[in-house]
A and B are shown apart, each in its own frame.
Chain A
């Protein structure tokens, strides 16, 4: 046994009392003067500590405690007790059921509302499509531009609207209407018919503005099949310099894509 172990064992022995025997500890103490001195002196002190009289609290301490406890009971704890019923498992289960039912009802109500709103939105989109087709057939270019605006704001893809826009792009007498139609067709660029019409219309358009707008659209759509049409435009004798420049750029873009 080392002296350090001896210290731990000494504290154990003091606590165990005078009757407790630890032969190993006793053998160490017999062979180590320093530990023997500790055992004797500190052991005496430990016993003496046990003889120190222990003070008793005065009665007023208990009195003060119980007064305060009574005050507390009257005030705070009573209030607490008022809400104790909330902690009851039955109440909590009922509250959970109520919240669940309210959640389901609210969900159903909002789903109904959502369906109504969805139906209204569909109706508005259909109206817009009808108005768009109708306006695109008007004499006035301004009305036809309005029609294109309606077509852009119409919801789902509608065949009549797409056909009206394609007709406007190819046949409208007013270049502004044709340009607006090209812009409006951007929404439908996933339709094969729209892509094919844009490629075909390039040779038919005589306005440099339209030629440039259609080429921009084809590059944006990454329509590589439009390269021959652009190339033939490039070889036209009376091509506008700005269109030639743009056609060069468009071909390079399509080759890089």
Chain B
């Protein structure tokens, strides 16, 4: 039977690094995507994703085993990204950068592909706080309660932010698609 995240963290606390390796296997992909959506930079996202796990190791004693692991991990990741932004003073992803679509050779429907490319560009143009709440709610499949923990706000605030971010995304998409109705 698989160990729970909390059990793995207890292993990490005891100095057993196999627990950290297991947590890496569980979370490194979504974490990489979180950073990729925020930064649009593959190299940076890979570095930040793996660095997040070493921060987990560094701050292992601050983990509260009664609370879910994933929001705590994303809080660490978020702080890491903010540190990075302060260093680079970057907020929006350079336009036209579309790492995921570059890989997506299987999709042969050109029209749909263009729509998705446009949508990704529209997403990348959003301010980071709007982009972040959409990433967490849409791509990370986190519960509103978990997102509230990561962002440090109320659940109601998360819902409002999600709605506003969706509206901003709609406007951004409309601008890019030449003011056509979505």
Q: Which A residues are within 8 Å of any B CB, using their own CB?
A: 7-8, 10-12, 15, 38, 41-42, 44-46, 48-58, 60-62, 64-66, 68-69, 72-73, 77, 80-81, 84
Contact = CB atoms under 8 A, between A and B. Distances in A.
Nearest to B156: A8
A57 B137 contact: no
A45 B159 contact: no
Interface string B151-180: 000001001101100110110010000000
Contacts of A38: 167
Contacts of B170: 41-42, 45
B163 A49 contact: no
Nearest to B106: A53
Nearest to B21: A69
Q: Which 6 A-B pairs have the closest CB atoms?
A: A55-B100, A61-B46, A57-B32, A53-B104, A65-B50, A7-B163
B116 A68 contact: no
B49 A61 contact: yes
Interface residues of B, number: 46
A36 to B, nearest CB: 14
A44 B169 CA distance: 12
Contacts of B54: 68, 72
A73 B138 contact: no
Interface of B: 14-15, 17, 20-21, 24, 28-29, 32-33, 36, 42, 45-46, 49-50, 53-54, 57, 99-101, 103-104, 107, 115-116, 119-120, 123, 134, 137-139, 156, 159-160, 162-163, 166-167, 169-170, 173, 181-182
B61 to A, nearest CB: 12
B24 A65 contact: yes
B21 A77 contact: no
B163 A10 contact: yes
Contacts of B156: 8
Contacts of A49: 119, 123, 134, 138-139
Contacts of B166: 11, 42, 45-46
